[in-house]
A and B are shown apart, each in its own frame.
Chain A
Amino acid sequence: MKKIFLVLIAITITLPIVFILLLSLFSYYRFPLLFPKDFTTEFWKTALLKNPMFIPSLLNSLILAICNGFLSTLVGIMTARALVRHNFKGKSFIKTIYTIPLFIPSIALFLGVHTVMIRLRLINSYIGIILAHMIISIPYAVSIFIPFFQGISLDIEDAAKVLGCRTIGLYKRIIIPLIVPGIFLSFSISFLISFTEYFSTFIIGGGRVVTLATLMYPYINNFDLGNGATLGVIFIGTNLLVFFIAEYISRKKLKTDSYLFE
């Protein structure tokens, strides 16, 4: 019973994605045809060879996602560390507001962010987009690291300090190794958020920074089945590849099994 239910869930998610793959390879799909027909490689040629924006957009997506993954994780570690280990004025304030970007309707949030970006002249720039993506990634990063820091007992840290470990050494030898799974998780989620984000990239990038997400939007909007599906397959494929690599590293090098959700 449980197995059937779980398999059904898996099928519900997978089938449409398989269908997208089919649509990128077959050109004819009119009612009442059940499966598309007329095999073609035209859509793939268009996407990979004819569209001059394709390679730059893929690179842009990767650059932004990696920067966002790295920076959000860093800020996440810093904030979570402060919240768990330190007492300071305004701690409860930070504790209540750090998730706030996720609870403000995104269109309203980004139109606001946009007005600031305009004043700071950060529109049309990579920095602007990364900062915008960080705003919606950091809440995840902080929530990921809080339990990790809570899990490190104070005794270990104190022992290390007694043994003469300085702050840098403490991080290098004790803290970082303990939170490595969190780093991977936080990085992947931030990567994914940036990679998928359309609206903020679009308004802040202003057409100068084209990413895969902004490249595919017009095709979907105009219901261009073949070209839209092809970019979709590339998009999902790239993500899967990045995650596969990350998972491989975390397994082999770090000997941690728990990658992207245990």
Chain B
Amino acid sequence: MIFKKATPYLLILPILLLYGLFIGGGLIGIILESLGHIPVLGLHGFSIESYIVVVTQKNFIESFLYSIYISLTVSLIASTLGVVIAYTFITCKNKSIQTLVKKTLQLGLIIPYIYVVFIAMLMLNQTGIFARLLYNTGIIATPNSFPELIFDRKGIGIIWVFVFKGTPFIALFVINVMARISNTFEDVGRTLGSGSITLLRRVYIPLSSNTILWTSCIIFAYALGSFEVNYLLSSISPVPISARLYSLFINPDIKVIPQTMALNVILFLLGGSIVGIYGFTLKQFLRRISR
């Protein structure tokens, strides 16, 4: 009897340990270091000075807003595209095209972010493939007349990379859900005389809204918090917040460690909340369009 009562606790023990120890413990760890308490390196202080330094740094707010702008744009484009692809996929009854698309979407899932950065540089640069194409056809006279698509202030390059990776991710998960809906509800919908768009709005989106919601949130959070893409493709200003954190992280100066950790704590807590707000708003939006 006791054993039976303990079963659920035993089942959740691993996840609890893992999260509690590493995420909870990690948060405590970075808070301690951010307050300037790293005894081994001779830092014994307990002050919020490092937070003040970080927050009052030039363009700090701008960096944060810029990152939110990137994440928002990325997740909205990727979610829309992902849902459209999934819906087209489900309603396109051609087996061979479905197989082809499924395979390529899986390929898109497999290819690492860092390679998409590589591809972005190859394609979008002013001497990249697109520029070469236009140059060879005589549309542009010099590479400089090709628009700035990477290392640009609008973050087009960064957004492109996250969309390239995020869309297959969202599409695959949504296809997975929509495939189950497909047969049951479609006939009902059709007999009731609804068109494609209505069907998508009234049947498909409501039934897959949970999946859309959490995949979209994941992409949002990823765009906010991954440093590789942001670091390698950003212009000099504004700098995405995660790139800023990475720059601090690799700064060899020991005195900078508390500041690094302060920014880390800020990103940890604020980043999490922003994703929460995004998720909540998206949920409301999805509810509204399905009415």
Q: Do chains A and B touch in the complex (CB under 8 A)?
A: yes
B129-142 near A? 1/0 per residue, CB < 8 Å: 10111011000000
How many whole Å from B210's CB to the nearest CB in chain A? 9
Q: Is A65 interfacial (CB-CB < 8 Å)? A: no
Residues of A within 8 A of B232 (CB): 220-221
Q: Is A105 interfacial (CB-CB < 8 Å)? A: yes
- Complex contact B225–A220 (CB within 8 A): no
- Chain B's interface size range is 35 or more
> Which one of A50-58, A108-116, A169-177 contacts B?
A108-116
How many whole Å from A84's CB to the nearest CB in chain B? 10
Q: Is B60 interfacial (CB-CB < 8 Å)? A: no
Instruction: State which of B22, B110, B132, B279 has its C-beta within 8 Å of the C-beta of A131.
Output: B22
Instruction: State which of A31, A101, A199 has its C-beta within 8 Å of the C-beta of B132.
Output: A31
Q: Which 9 residue pairs of A and B lie closest in terms of their CB atoms, listed nearest first? A: A105-B225, A112-B26, A115-B29, A86-B8, A82-B11, A88-B8, A105-B271, A108-B268, A31-B127
B167-203 near A? 1/0 per residue, CB < 8 Å: 0100011011001100000000000000000000000
9 CB contacts below 8 A, A to B, read A2-B92, A78-B12, A103-B217, A103-B218, A104-B225, A105-B267, A107-B249, A115-B30, A228-B118
Q: In the complex, what residue of chain B is closest to A75 when comparing beta carbons?
A: B14
Given A10-B104, A105-B267, A88 and B118 contact (CB-CB distance below 8 Å): no
CA distance A192 to B113 in the complex (A): 12
CA distance A39 to B217 in the complex (A): 44
Q: In the complex, what residue of chain A is closest to B218 when comparing beta carbons?
A: A102
Instruction: State which of A9, A104, A116 has its C-beta within 8 Å of the C-beta of B221.
Output: A104
- Complex contact B225–A135 (CB within 8 A): no
- Complex contact B26–A115 (CB within 8 A): yes
B221-251 near A? 1/0 per residue, CB < 8 Å: 1101111100010000000001001100100
Given A5-B88, A112-B27, A13 and B108 contact (CB-CB distance below 8 Å): yes
Q: In the complex, what residue of chain A is closest to B126 when comparing beta carbons?
A: A31
CA distance A78 to B13 in the complex (A): 9
A79-120 near B? 1/0 per residue, CB < 8 Å: 101100011101100100111111111111101111111010
How many whole Å from B89's CB to the nearest CB in chain A? 7
Q: Is A134 interfacial (CB-CB < 8 Å)? A: yes
Residues of B within 8 A of A102 (CB): 214, 217-218, 221
Q: Is A248 interfacial (CB-CB < 8 Å)? A: no
Residues of A within 8 A of B205 (CB): none
A interface residues, Cβ below 8 angstroms from B: 2-3, 5-7, 9-10, 13-14, 16-17, 19-20, 23, 31-34, 74-75, 78-79, 81-82, 86-88, 90-91, 94, 97-109, 111-117, 119, 131-132, 134-135, 138, 142-143, 192, 196, 198-199, 213, 216-217, 220-221, 223, 225, 228-229, 232, 235-236, 239-240, 243, 260-262
- Complex contact B97–A94 (CB within 8 A): no
- Complex contact A113–B11 (CB within 8 A): no
Q: Is B52 interfacial (CB-CB < 8 Å)? A: no
- Complex contact A6–B85 (CB within 8 A): yes
- Complex contact A6–B97 (CB within 8 A): yes
Residues of B within 8 A of A134 (CB): 18
Given A6-B85, A78-B11, A243 and B227 contact (CB-CB distance below 8 Å): no
CA distance A22 to B29 in the complex (A): 46
Given A6-B92, A102-B218, A103-B272, A31 and B143 contact (CB-CB distance below 8 Å): yes
**Interface class of chain B by DSSP:** helix
Q: In the complex, what residue of chain B is closest to A231 when comparing beta carbons?
A: B115
Given A75-B14, A223-B121, A236-B110, A108 and B102 contact (CB-CB distance below 8 Å): no
How many whole Å from A211's CB to the nearest CB in chain B? 11
* Max count, chain A CB within 10 A of own CB: residue among B112, B119, B227: B112
CA distance A10 to B131 in the complex (A): 22
- Complex contact B228–A94 (CB within 8 A): no
Residues of B within 8 A of A115 (CB): 25-26, 29-30, 33
- Complex contact B104–A9 (CB within 8 A): yes
CA distance A236 to B104 in the complex (A): 12
Instruction: State which of A9, A108, A196 has its C-beta within 8 Å of the C-beta of B101.
Output: A9
Given A31-B127, A213-B112, A6 and B89 contact (CB-CB distance below 8 Å): yes
- Complex contact B175–A261 (CB within 8 A): yes
- Complex contact A13–B92 (CB within 8 A): no
Given A2-B88, A82-B11, A13 and B168 contact (CB-CB distance below 8 Å): yes
Instruction: State which of B21, B133, B226, B276 has its C-beta within 8 Å of the C-beta of A106.
Output: B226
* Max count, chain B CB within 10 A of own CB: residue among A7, A97, A261: A261
* Max count, chain B CB within 10 A of own CB: residue among A108, A115, A192: A108
CA distance A19 to B26 in the complex (A): 41
- Complex contact A243–B114 (CB within 8 A): no
How many whole Å from B69's CB to the nearest CB in chain A? 15
CA distance A213 to B129 in the complex (A): 26
Instruction: State which of A90, A135, A143, A228 has its C-beta within 8 Å of the C-beta of B19.
Output: A135
